[in-house]
Amino acid sequence: MATPERSLKVGAVIITMGNRPEELRALIDSVAQQDGDPVEVVVVGNGSPVPDVPGGVRTVEVPENLGIPGGRNVGIEAFGPGGRDVDILLFLDDDGLLARTDTAELCREAFAADDRLGIISFRIADPETGVTQRRHVPRLRASDPMRSSRVTTFLGGANAVRTKVFAEVGGLPDEFFYAHEETDLAWRALDAGWMIDYRSDMVLYHPTTAPSRHAVYHRMVARNRVWLARRNLPAPLVPVYLGVWLLLTLARRPSRPALKAWFGGFREGWATACGPRRPMKWRTVWRLTRLGRPPVI
């Protein structure tokens, strides 16, 4: 008699600033309602105390705000080095809500069916309208958010990662603090041979927002864009990639203060340390191109 395959073990990492206790509780409840084996949850208080959470939920409080990647890395390590105590980690924004009860099971099935699948990006939808913002579809051809596909990056607050990816390529880049940390991890994972899927049937409800609501948005987007290129791209592609993004930024006609902040961040990206440089292989560049997003845009 064949031995049944072990069900993949799933954990969830949620970082919080402690300012959305009701939304956090609702998110945790939606995780608890997932079908299949229970999902173990770790909530990281990122420079703030963790609000009251249900029994059985582990909490970690760090004394200062480590930023999004730093906070999530703390959550990963709460599941053992590189998250090795579980097979899959969900990363969920603390004001989100899992729309369905089968998301964890769908993740188990997807990762079990494809040994090279490393990351799944969920679809984000507004809880009232059901609308998915174009920027939340992680590909250039984003007009149809209901189409699932292979992609080259993922959404930071609505995803699942096979923990073997962290063991092989490391965690998120702490120094980024906010913006583009997902693409940095995605490029490293793709360079190591992992694949990334966007799944429209795995849904996180999240209120519609604009990224520019963050005061540091324009500076960090520009700084981290430079760091991303310096860390990951073959040398000939670095000026091409950054030149394209400079032109795109100007074409969007940001306000004068926003443009000033952007150029300040752009200069900072060149003048400051960005962490280790590990340029991707040229075959990875070709792979990204075949997937519809060459690493020049």
Domain assignment present for residue 194? The answer is yes
Top pLDDT among 218 and 214 is at 218
For residues 84-93, give the mean pLDDT.
98
Tell me: do 112 and 131 sit in the same domain.
yes
Instruction: State which of 158, 175, 205 marks the end of a domain.
Output: 205
Domain assignment present for residue 294? The answer is no
User: Range of 137's domain?
Assistant: 10-205
Tell me whether strands 195-205 and 149-151 are parallel, antiparallel or unpaired.
Answer: antiparallel
Domain assignment present for residue 254? The answer is yes
Neighbours of 193 (CB within 10 A): 11
User: 106 in helix, strand or coil?
Assistant: helix
Q: CATH no. for residue 121?
A: 3.90.550.10
Q: Lowest mean pLDDT: which of 1-10, 219-228, 258-267? A: 1-10
**Helix and strand counts by DSSP (H, E) for the chain:** 9, 9
pTM over the 0.85 mark: yes
Q: What is the pLDDT of residues 41-72, one digit of tens each?
A: 999 999 999 999 999 999 999 999 999 999 99
Task: Give the helix/strand (H/E) hosting 244.
Answer: helix 237-251
Q: Looking at the predicted structure, is the pLDDT value of residue 214 above 90? A: no
For residues 251-276, give the mean pLDDT.
96
What is the Cα Rg of the chain in Å?
Answer: 19
* Percent share of the chain, pLDDT over 70: 97
Q: Looking at the predicted structure, is the pLDDT value of residue 6 above 90? A: no
Domain assignment present for residue 86? The answer is yes
Amino acid making up residue 148: S
* Percent share of the chain, pLDDT over 90: 95
pLDDT of the residue at 178: 95
Tell me: do 234 and 195 sit in the same domain.
no
pLDDT of the residue at 198: 98
Rounded distance, CA 294 to CA 287, Å?
Answer: 8
For residues 198-217, give the mean pLDDT.
84
Q: What is the pLDDT of residues 234-260, one digit of tens each?
A: 999 999 999 999 999 999 999 999 999
pLDDT of the residue at 210: 74
Q: Looking at the predicted structure, is the pLDDT value of residue 212 above 80? A: no
Tell me: do 201 and 224 sit in the same domain.
no
The Cα-based distances of 92 to 30, 149, 200, 240, 294 in angstroms read 11, 21, 16, 33, 28
Tell me: do 145 and 235 sit in the same domain.
no
Tell me: do 268 and 192 sit in the same domain.
no
pLDDT of the residue at 1: 42
Number of domains in the chain: 2
Q: Which residues of 116-133 are buried (b: 16+ CB within 10 A; e: fewer)?
A: ebbbbbbbbbeeeeeebb
Q: Looking at the predicted structure, is the pLDDT value of residue 93 above 70? A: yes
Domain assignment present for residue 291? The answer is no
For residues 201-218, give the mean pLDDT.
82
Q: What is the pLDDT of residues 19-32, one digit of tens each?
A: 999 999 999 999 99
Tell me: do 23 and 93 sit in the same domain.
yes
Q: Looking at the predicted structure, is the pLDDT value of residue 204 above 60? A: yes
Tell me: do 156 and 98 sit in the same domain.
yes
Tell me: do 17 and 123 sit in the same domain.
yes
